[in-house]
Amino acid sequence: MLLARLGYSVIVREKQTFPRAHAGESLPPSILPILGRLGVREAVEGAGFLRPRGAHVLWSGDSPEWAGTSGDQPGFQVDRARFDQILLDAAIAAGARLLPAASADSIGAEARMAVDASGRRRVMSPRAEAFAPETLAVYAYWRQPEGMSPETLVEAGTHHWYWGAPLPDGTFNATVFVSPIEFAGRSAGELYGAKLRESILMGPHCLERVSPILVCDATPRVCSAPLVTANRIMAGESAFSIDPLSSQGVMAAMRSGIHAAAAVHTILAHADCALAAEFIESRARATVRSHARLAARGYRDSGRESAFWRERSSCRWPAVEAGPIPGLDSSVTLAEGVALRGVPFLAGDRIVAVDGIAGGSLEEPMVELGGHSVASLLRPVANRPCSARDLLEIWSRRMPARDAVRVFEHLWKAGVLATSRCA
């Protein structure tokens, strides 16, 4: 859609005939700005999807708790067949040409650039690394009971967890997330039935099944190959997939698509493949790691101790522990590895290099903080240490003193600043 709007000749090769069913129906309200950016917000809001204001969550205690969405706007329970059709229609309206039921397995040299948006299939680079324990989703659709409210249901089980969502077509998706070892010696039907019988929240809504029982991979994975080369780019779940616990997979995939479009434009119109690649890789790394930490915290919060929960409660990228904020007389400098340099930045439809910082323990470059250029804030400590007091004094000429303290604390906790022995 975005590339067609920029005037490129775009061909969409989609293997399935749309509209087609797809798992992943709960969307948080934070997807609204992305829908707005793509110009499809009105169409999605007007499509008659359900609008939940939160979820009933039975996670660590004995009774369900209410987890409301932040802000005024409700999220969505969408029918993915229609939601994805709205996106495809918008791409076609923008000028993209759809080759119906066309596989992308054999993209030839006819395209200057190929975007692999084939989801977990990753047709152009199938190898991916799991960054959390292997997980399968076992799910089916049930006839929704009369008068069911639109909220998501989330529940922790002994060696698994449940996600349930009423959908706009009058069905209810009940999903169980399990480790593959649970399948040993039993069929998907036996496993699913046994798990649903243990559930407190799902049971009352699972009386009449209207679909087969389906199984799919739900393991968080990241593509093993470079995400960007001079003639192909991985986007959406082809690049990385996050733990479904956050219900943010669609949002992350769409944001990745927006970034991919900017990267393609940067490569084709501005011949800067290295800048585009650094942007895409660093954004993917930051998203994967922050979601991995979020999911691990979610599993830990359940307080459960079976292997299923224990294995998912730790993250291979723990948050940086910055230590106590240094006093005013401490001498501070840039932390090891952090450098002031030109870093990639998304500016409208393309990626440009702007002054910023990167390296060290930063997962992605940093350009602005509270409306101030981070590079210009850090210039006083770029080549020599400076006392915290002097740095705050310099910053206080540009912003209120309390904001300067907040900026200092933020940069310290992010691992950008370190103390130095000599002032």
- Interface residue with ligand FAD among 41, 121, 159, 300 (CB under 6 A) is 121
Q: How far is CA 278 from CA 126, 239, 284, 346, in A?
A: 21, 14, 10, 12
Which residue in the set 144, 171, 199, 248 belongs to the binding site for ligand FAD (CB under 6 A)? 248
Sheet containing strand 417-420, edge to edge, reads: 386-387, 331-334, 417-420
Q: Which residue has the tokens 């389906």?
A: 214
Burial tier of 224 (Cβ tally within 10 Å: 0-12, 13-18, 19+): exposed
Nearest in space to 317 (alpha carbons), one of 288, 359, 276 = 288
CB of 26 to ligand FAD, least distance (A): 4
C-alpha separations of 357 from 337, 360, 364, 390 in Å: 10, 10, 9, 21
Q: Which residue in this structure is represented by tokens 């005939």?
A: 17
By CB under 6 A, name the one of 2, 3, 4, 13 that touches ligand FAD: 13
Candidate ranges 11-19, 59-67, 286-294, 369-377; the one touching ligand FAD (CB under 6 A): 11-19
Q: How far is the CB of 250 from ligand FAD (least distance, A)?
A: 3
Shortest Cβ 81–ligand FAD spacing (Å): 10
250 binds ligand FAD (CB under 6 A): yes
Considering CB under 6 A, how many residues would be counted as binding ligand FAD?
31
Site membership for ligand FAD, residue 117 (CB under 6 A)? yes
Q: Footprint of ligand FAD on residues 253-272 (CB under 6 A)?
A: 253
Residue 209 is given by DSSP the state B
| Residue 235: CB minimum distance to ligand FAD, A | 7
Q: Mark the segment that binds ligand FAD (CB under 6 A) among 19-27, 43-51, 59-67, 413-421.
A: 19-27
Q: What angle separates helix 273-301 from helix 249-270, to the nearest 10 degrees? A: 170
How many Å apart are CA 383 and CA 394, to the nearest integer? 16
Considering only 2, 6, 27, 377, the residue that binds ligand FAD (CB under 6 A) is 27
Q: Does 23 interact with ligand FAD (rule: CB under 6 A)?
A: yes
- Beta 128-130 vs 221-223: how paired, if at all? antiparallel
DSSP string across 64-129: -EEEEPSSS---EE--HHHHHHHHHHHHHHTTPEEETT--STT--TT-S-EEE--GGG-TT---EE
Complex with ligand FAD: residue 236 or 356, whichever CB lies closer:
236
CA distance 58 to 151: 13
Cβ atoms of residues 162 and 201 within 8 Å: yes
Q: Which residue of 74, 166, 249, 344 would you call a contact of ligand FAD, by CB under 6 A?
A: 249
Applying CB under 6 A, which of residues 4, 10, 14, 76 lies at the interface with ligand FAD?
14
What CA–CA distance (Å, rounded) separates 169 from 50? 9
- Residue 135 CB burial class (10 angstroms; 0-12, 13-18, ≥19): buried
CA distance 1 to 363: 29
* Parallel, antiparallel or unpaired: strands 114-116 and 232-234: parallel
Which of 11, 22, 98, 225 contacts ligand FAD by CB under 6 A?
22
If you ran DSSP here, which 8-state letter would residue 345 be given? E
103 near ligand FAD, judged by CB under 6 A: yes
Q: Which is nearer to ligand FAD, 253 or 284 (CB)?
A: 253
Indicate which single residue of 7, 66, 93, 105 sits in contact with ligand FAD (rule: CB under 6 A).
105
Closest CA to 276 of 240, 341, 230: 230
180 vs 323, which CB is nearer to ligand FAD? 180
Q: Which of 75, 164, 166, 236 binds ligand FAD (CB under 6 A)?
A: 236
Q: Render 143-178 in DSSP notation, one character per residue.
A: EPPTT--S-EEEEE-SSEEEEEEE-TTSEEEEEEEE
With respect to ligand FAD, which residue has the nearer C-beta, 231 or 419?
Answer: 231
Residue from the set 151, 155, 237, 364 that interacts with ligand FAD by CB under 6 A: 237
Instruction: Name which of 10, 82, 96 is nearest 47 in CA terms.
Output: 82
Determine the interface stretch with ligand FAD among 117-125, 185-193, 198-206, 363-371 (rule: CB under 6 A): 117-125
* Smallest distance, ligand FAD to C-beta of residue 391, A: 41
179 binds ligand FAD (CB under 6 A): no
244: contact with ligand FAD by CB under 6 A: yes
Residue 16 engages ligand FAD in binding (rule: CB under 6 A): yes
Contact region with ligand FAD (CB under 6 A), list: 7-15, 264-272, 345-353, 408-416: 7-15
26 binds ligand FAD (CB under 6 A): yes
Nearer CB in complex with ligand FAD: 23/423: 23
Helix axes 388-395, 401-413, angle to 10 degrees: 130
Residues of the shown chain interacting with ligand FAD in the complex, contacts defined by CB under 6 A: 13-16, 22-27, 103-105, 117-119, 121, 123, 137, 175, 216, 218, 236-237, 244, 247-251, 253
